[in-house]
Amino acid sequence: MEMTEMNKGILFIISGPAGSGKGTVVRELISSHSDIKLSVSATTRSPRPGEENGVHYHFITKDEFERRIKNGEILEYTTYCENYYGTPLKEVNEALERGNDIILEIEVDGAMQVKKKIENSVTIMLTPPDSVTLENRLRSRGTETDEVIKWRLERAKEEIRLLPDYDYSVINEDGMSDKCAEQIYGIICAEHKRTLHTRDIIKKFI
């Protein structure tokens, strides 16, 4: 079958600060829509308990990460807490060519790099409803010192300031991650109806 704009997938980038609940929302979205793929990033950080290589991340060494950057195998990357995080180019291209939509769950730096490199990619920022909820969420993890929480809170506010650079924003209210996932699915459906992706319809009439 000839590949047309109609059956190519679209790349969606979902970013959100710590406390936005993006991990839960993205998992929800993927589990209820199996044709949407989630890109598995490469990272040099160590796996956390329960994380599997190739599922949550491709866990690789710093040398290997730098080799992949040099070889042009990484679409975008950033350093976060002294570790590299990056998106493998091949996986993204393959999903799009197969006609699958693909989601990158990445931080703001990487999001802006991809937006510039991949034409028609769509950026979505997920935010908590307000700063009180944000702080409550960061504190409720109970694993971090006051100083770290303060740092994360400041960083979260800096990231949210970049909201106007995104195409869409969605608010993730407490206990409403399923509703939030469906709102993102609504954006995905709407993007497919843009005439940019549907213009082949004309061929059926002329």
Candidates 109, 135, 144, 191: give the one binding ligand 5GP (CB under 6 A): 109
Cα distances (Å, whole numbers) of residue 54 to 38, 88, 124: 12, 12, 25
Nearest to 126 by CA among 37, 19, 11: 19
Cβ-contact 200, 8 below 8 angstroms: no
Q: For residue 26, what are the contacts with CB-CB under 8 A and spacing of at least 6?
A: 14, 38, 103, 105, 181
Query: At residue 49, what is the residue type?
Result: P
Least distance in Å: CB of 102 to ligand 5GP?
A: 12
Candidates 8, 27, 45, 197: give the one binding ligand 5GP (CB under 6 A): 45
**x/- map, 143-182, ligand 5GP, by CB under 6 A:** ----------------------------------------
Residue 107 within binding range of ligand 5GP, rule CB under 6 A? yes
Residue 84 within binding range of ligand 5GP, rule CB under 6 A? no
| Angle of helix 131-140 versus helix 146-160 axis, rounded to 10 | 140
Residue least distant from ligand 5GP (Cβ)? 110
Residues that bind ligand 5GP (CB under 6 A): 41, 45, 76-78, 80, 85-87, 105-107, 109-110
